[in-house]
Structures are given as C-alpha cells and as structure tokens.
Structure 1
Amino acid sequence: MYYRPEDGHGLPHNPFNAIVAPRPIGWISTRSTRSVDNLAPYSFFNAVAYTPPQVMFASTSSKADRARGKDSLGNIEQTGVFCVNVVEEEALHEMNRSSASLAAGEDEFPHARVTKAACTEIACSRVALAPAALECRLSQLVVLEGENNFMVIGRVVGVHIRDDCLVDGKFDITRFGMVSRLGYRDYTIIRDSFELGRPDD
C-alpha cells in the first residue's frame, strides 16, 4: 500500500500515529495566572536534547473557549512554566480521566483523583506519586503547519525521581510499567528491556 496524506489513505482509521509508535505520554501539569491547576496527557511528547536537557510536546486540537485552544497551552504561554509527569501502569485510569473535557478553569487533579505536590523550581503542581517529573521553563512555542498545531519546547530545570524507581543507580521504567501510546485508542505497558552496546563503546 502507498498513499499521499493529502489524498487520503482509504482505511477505516488513520494509520499515521500507529506507525510512529510507541510514544511516551507527557502528562502535562500547568497553572493559570489565577492559580488554577491543569493536568492533561499528550502523546506527541519526547526528549529533544541532553545539554541543557530539553523536552517537547505538541497539541493538535482545540476548544473554542480557551486561549490558544487548550488550557495547557494558554497557561504555559502566560506563566512560562510546566511540568511533565511520567505515567505508570497504576495511574493509567487517572491519566485517562484527566483527558476529559471539563469546563474552562476547572482543576483536573481532583476530577481525575490525582494527588498533587508542589514543584520546587517553578510555580506549578506536579503529580505527587509519579515515577518521575520534569519541571520545565518554556524555551519556544512553535506554530506548526495545520490548524491548531503547536509545539512546546521546555528546558528542564528540576527533576523528581521516586526512590523505588531507581535500580542500581538507573531509572528503571520496567519496574513500574511506563505507559506509552500506540495508534488509534491503543496503549502499551513497557515491562521488558535489553541493553545493546554501540560499536565504539
């Protein structure tokens, strides 16, 4: 099969995001200028640089009554900060509940039954029990091609790691089952890993 995206794929569902998978979920927490917390999962998320450490996530839809179409984007643009929380298997349903369409300005933490904790470097809440959380300052907000497509790039200024997720000095994502997005409505839990040395090691 071959298709050009502009001509359509002819399949029951778009295969694009099933091809680029798995993708870690960036569970993004932000705070409005009125001190209302927001929590939402984004599956277009990844790390993009080591030094300084930087991450990105992209938002690809909108709500008509929100600045920049999403509370997350509006809050980040106004405050310049956000936190990326890692999603573990035990928090799968809480993460999913936080994707619900709530009224503007409503706090997703209590709706999703997620305990919050204060960040250290930024004025924002984080998921208290997350295996890891990355406190970020906004570096760039990039307008992408297409309607309501934005990419947020942030510099990591603080890192929280839950002690039980460190094994022999390494952050072990198989220990807690990192949740990742596949295509369609499909997800996967990472339970296995293997080491592969480079030729120059």
Structure 2
Amino acid sequence: MQLDFTQMAPLDAYRWLASTVTPRPIAWVSTLSRDGVSNLAPFSFFQVISDDPATLMVNISTRDDGQLKDTLRNVQDTGELVIQLVSFEQAESMNASAAWLPHGVSEFEQCGIAIEPSQRVRAPRVQGAPVAFECRLAEVQPYPRAKPTCHLVFAEVLLAHVDERVLTEAGRIDPQRLDLVGRLGGSAYTRTRDTFTMVRPS
C-alpha cells in the first residue's frame, strides 16, 4: 500500500499521520489571557526539541474557520505558558478540556480542574500534574509560511515541577509511577507502563 500525501485531502493526511506516528506525548497547555482569564487545552503534536537551552515545541493548528486558538493568542499576548504531562489519573479531565469553549471561558472552571500558582510565570498550573514545565515563549513559527495551517510554538523551560510520588528512591523518574497517557489514532490512547529495556551499544 502506498499513500500519496501530495494528492491527499488534509483530513485524510491527518488521520494517517495521527494513527501511524504513535504514541505521541500530550502537552496539556495552560495559559493566561491578556484579561487574566485562564485557559487549558491538550495538544498531541508535541515534543522536546533541545536540551541547551531546554526547549519544548507544541504544534497548534488553526481553527476550521481560520481563527487562532485561545492558547496561541494567549501565548503571543503574554509570552508565557505551562506545559503539563498527563497522567492516566488525569486523562478524563484532559479530555474534557479539549471541548470547544467560547473565547473568555476558562476550561479550568468549566471542567472543575484545580489550579496551582506558578513561580516564574503568571499562567496557572494544573494541580496534581505529575510534571509541569513553566515556560517562556522563545519563538512562534507559522507553517507553512505562505499559507499557515498551524503555528509551531517553541517554549523555553524555566522551571519544572515534578511530583515526588513519580520518583524512585534514587530520585529518578519511574515510568510505572509516572503512568502517562499517549495519543494514538482516532479516540485511542495508551499508557507508558508497558516498558522494556535495551542497552545502547558503545
């Protein structure tokens, strides 16, 4: 079977990419609007791209009507965001926060998700998130530049909050305790507890 992406409708391309490039980590992004309204939304086109400086990248697509999503608007207005990782325990809350809400309505309030204050940025954190990265905006790149369908948000990590419950006795991350969810195709998700070990060759 061959798939010609040059002749494929965007929705079909998304479905094939989203169901094959898996599992994908989920960035649960919290921001604050210029007017002080909190926003929370999940994005699965997400990855760490640099360790020096520590930088994460989130792909935020435009809405079907061409309008910018609140997350991107807030990041561009304030230059700040918090990227949470999603535990299995918080999967339902994450999914609830994906619902479309009118501009100016907080997903934290609408979905009953508790807030914790951040230390380096004004955007709030999700209470109980296993890992939360407080970030400042490094760069936004429209893509493709000629006619953008999404924006690549490069976020420099300033401070990370790691729940001590997900650490081993040696102070390292334990994948079993971290128990993150990853995105598969369609409505399918996976958990990070099914692991195996290989030693890289020297």
The answer on 1:77 being equivalent to 2:76 is yes
Q: Which residue of 1 aligns with 2:118?
A: 119
TM-score w.r.t. structure 1 length?
0.91
Measured in 1, the distance between the counterparts of 2:6 and 2:121 equals 42
2:171 maps to which of 169, 172, 175:
169
Deviations 1:137-168 (A, max 9, x none): 11110111254311100110010001101113
* Corresponding residue SS for 2:122: coil
SS in 2 for 1:170: coil
Deviation of residue 125 (structure 1)? 0.2
Asked whether the equivalents of residues 97 and 111 of structure 1 are also in contact (C-alpha less than 8 Å), the reply is no
Q: Does the C-alpha gap of structure 1 residues 192 and 18 become closer, same or farther in structure 2, counting only changes over 3 Å?
A: same
Partner of 1:8 in structure 2?
8
> Do 2:37 and 2:105's aligned partners in 1 also have CA atoms closer than 8 Å?
yes
Structure 1 residues 36-185: aligned runs within 5 Å: 36-62=37-63, 64=65, 69-145=68-144, 147-167=148-168, 168-185=170-187
The one-letter amino acid paired with 1:38 is: N
Residue deviations 1:75-128, cap 9 Å, x none? 000100100011001111100110111110101002122111111111110101
Identity %: 32
Cα 1:63/1:113, change in 2 over 3 Å: farther
Shift of 1:16: 1.5
Q: How many residues align?
A: 196
CA separation of 1:63/1:77 partners in 2, compared to 1, >3 Å: closer, same or farther?
farther
Q: What stretches of structure 1 of length at least 5 have no aligned partner?
A: none
Question: Which secondary structure state, in structure 1, belongs to the residue aligned with residue 177 of structure 2?
Answer: helix
User: Partners in 2 of 1:105 and 1:64 — Cα distance?
Assistant: 18
In 2, the alpha carbon distance for the partners of 1:158 and 1:3 equals 42
Counterpart position of 1:30: 31
Q: Deviations over 1:5-39 (max 9, x none)?
A: 12238x8x832111111010000000011110000
More off after superposition, 168-177 vs 114-123 = 168-177
Runs of 4+ with deviation above 4 angstroms: 63-66
- Secondary structure at the aligned position of 1:122 is classed as coil
Q: Within 1, Cα distance between the matches of 2:72 and 2:8? A: 29
Q: TM-score, normalised by structure 2?
A: 0.91
Paired AA for residue 163 in structure 2 = R
- In structure 1, what is the Cα distance between the partners aligned to 2:7 and 2:42? 30
Q: Is the 8 A contact 1:63 1:70 kept in 2?
A: no
Provide the secondary structure at the position in 1 that maps to 2:6: helix
Structure 2 alignment gaps of length 5 or more: none
* Secondary structure of the corresponding residue to residue 14 of structure 1: helix
- Match of residue 20 from structure 1: 21
Q: Secondary structure at the match of 1:171?
A: coil
With 79-88 and 167-176 compared, the bigger mean Cα shift is at 167-176
CA shift, 1:63, in A, is 6.2
